[in-house]
Structure 1
């Protein structure tokens, strides 16, 4: 967790410059660097879900996309 954010701060999108609340978890790994079971996570708002996912998928890194627990996405 970022030491500059309060521990109760809502997760934000990982897209550069975006400060929107995250609604999706994009789980990925780089097979050249990580074991097959290792997952790293980028968070995405609804607007950036596709672009971040496309970036990871084009490199063969994207493993799964799932709604972020506690996000409004789970209710829609």
Structure 2
């Protein structure tokens, strides 16, 4: 068994396989939410959560409430920030 089989996207990378980070959501990602935890990460480090259009604001609010959110970037067709 391949771990990528459990994701339902066949292990493909990029927008075709980019899935929203919201728990139980399997929608395609449209946004990258960049964040870091200043208690454990250096200031320039950025972690990335992916978000679909439906969950973008929920995930941003979650990160902003905790002081972790840095910026949100659109995800283009190549899976890179626009």
- Where on the TM-score scale, by shorter chain, does this alignment land: which range? 0.7 to 0.9
What aligned pairs does 1:1-76 form with structure 2 within 5 A after superposition?
Answer: 3-4=3-4, 5-8=10-13, 9-70=16-77
Structure 1 stretches of at least 4 aligned residues deviating more than 3 Å after TM superposition = none
TM-aligned CA deviation for residue 28 of structure 1: 0.1
Unaligned 5+ runs, structure 1:
72-76
TM-aligned CA deviation for residue 6 of structure 1: 2.1
Greater shift, 62-71 or 44-53, is seen at 62-71
TM-aligned CA deviation for residue 69 of structure 1: 2.0
TM-aligned CA deviation for residue 70 of structure 1: 1.3
Unaligned 5+ runs, structure 2:
5-9
Structure 2-normalised TM-score?
0.78
Structure 1-normalised TM-score?
0.84
